[in-house]
Structures are given as C-alpha cells and as structure tokens.
Amino acid sequence: MKSKKILSLAMMTVSLSLTACSAKQDETAQLEEQIDRLEKQVQDLQNGSQDGLSQNASTSPENATKIPVTDDPEDSQHEENIPQQNTSDTPDITALHARIMDLEQQVKDTTPTGSAQEQREQFDHLKQEIESTEWDLDLLEDDLESQYQKGTIDRKEYREDDQTIEVLEDILDRCEDQLEIIFGIDD
C-alpha cells in the first residue's frame, strides 16, 4: 500500500514535470513562430522600401509632386509621384524638393574656373549648400518620426513621406558625388 502511494506520487510528479515541459515547449514554439513572423515582416518592409517608390505612383495626383527618380544624375526622364507633406508643423517638402532640383542643376552646370583657391571656394560653396539641405531633410525626417510616434500621422503616411525623403537624400548624394568628380576633390 505504501509502495502504491509512493508510485502514485512519483507518477504524478513525472506527469506534472512533463506537463510543465510541454507548456514550456508550446511557449517556445509560439515565440519561435512570432520571431518567424517578425522576420518576415522585416523582410517585407525591406523589400517594400525597395519597391516603395513604385507604390508611391498610386497616390492621387492632387496630393503628389513629380520628382525624378533615377540612378544616373544625368538622366531625369523617369518620374514618380511623391506625396506632399500636408502637416503645418512639418517643413515644406515641396520647397525642399525644389531646392534640391535647383542644387542638382547648379552642380550639373558648374565648371571649375579661376585659380585653385577660387575653384576650392566654388566647391566649398556648393558643398555647403548640399550639406545645409541635407540638414533640413534630417530635420524633416525627425519631425516626421515624431508625428508618427505621437499618432498625428498614420503608418502609411509616415512610410510614404519617409520614402520621399530617402529619394531626395539619394539625389543629394548623387549631387555631392558629381560635385567631387567635377572638381576632382575627394572630400
């Protein structure tokens, strides 16, 4: 009788241990599934950011601005619809776009002239304008993120505007690279 009680107690202990292990395994499996889902979402977002510019083409024309999106700074034939920023707290993305297009044209039209010192001054002036514009884009991006975190804009609007900023930053990077090529300065 005593051995039956000990055996029963041992079986219950083993049973509870297995149940606890099984619950732990279920929890682990759920966490692994969640990790897999999150990794897939990250992958989708990364793919979406590459494909995001094509998604911007579906925005309505009255809320969009045409800006060139090319890998070649010499080729401005391809255009995408980029949504305008419509929140009064945010710097005007349309004005920044125009400023960047002007800078791009200035860089294309620039020819080094004068002495080496004068050429360096030309280079420094344009480089400073590019950096100032990059700074303004960074401020716009920070403000956009703040608005998203506060809930004043939704995820879709945040993503579209963030992609627009990325496109503008890419244009500025190409301008900076082209400027360095024109002047033969690796800064």
Same-domain pairing of 32 and 80: no
Same-domain pairing of 163 and 80: yes
Give the 3-state secondary structure of residue 87. Answer: coil
For residue 7, the model assigns a pLDDT of 58
| Residue 83 predicted with pLDDT over 50 | no
Same-domain pairing of 118 and 165: yes
Same-domain pairing of 68 and 106: yes
CA distance 79 to 164: 12
Query: Residue 81: enclosing H or E segment and its boundaries?
Result: strand 79-83
Same-domain pairing of 46 and 72: no
Same-domain pairing of 45 and 80: no
- Which are the contacts of 119, defined by CB distance < 8 A and separation ≥ 6? 112, 113, 183
Same-domain pairing of 139 and 115: yes
CA distance 155 to 57: 18
Same-domain pairing of 77 and 1: no
* Domain region containing 26: 1-56
Query: What's the number of domains the chain is made of?
Result: 2
Asked which of 16, 35, 56 is the last residue of a domain, the reply is 56
Give the 3-state secondary structure of residue 1. Answer: coil
Answer with the residue of higher pLDDT: 28 or 146. Answer: 146
pLDDT band at 165 (very low <50, low <70, confident <90, very high): very high
Same-domain pairing of 129 and 144: yes
Same-domain pairing of 6 and 93: no
Tokens of 96: 């920044």
Write down the pTM of the prediction: 0.52
Same-domain pairing of 187 and 95: yes
pLDDT tens-place string over residues 30-49: 777 777 777 767 676 766 64
Asked which of 13, 37, 56 is the last residue of a domain, the reply is 56
CA distance 76 to 26: 55
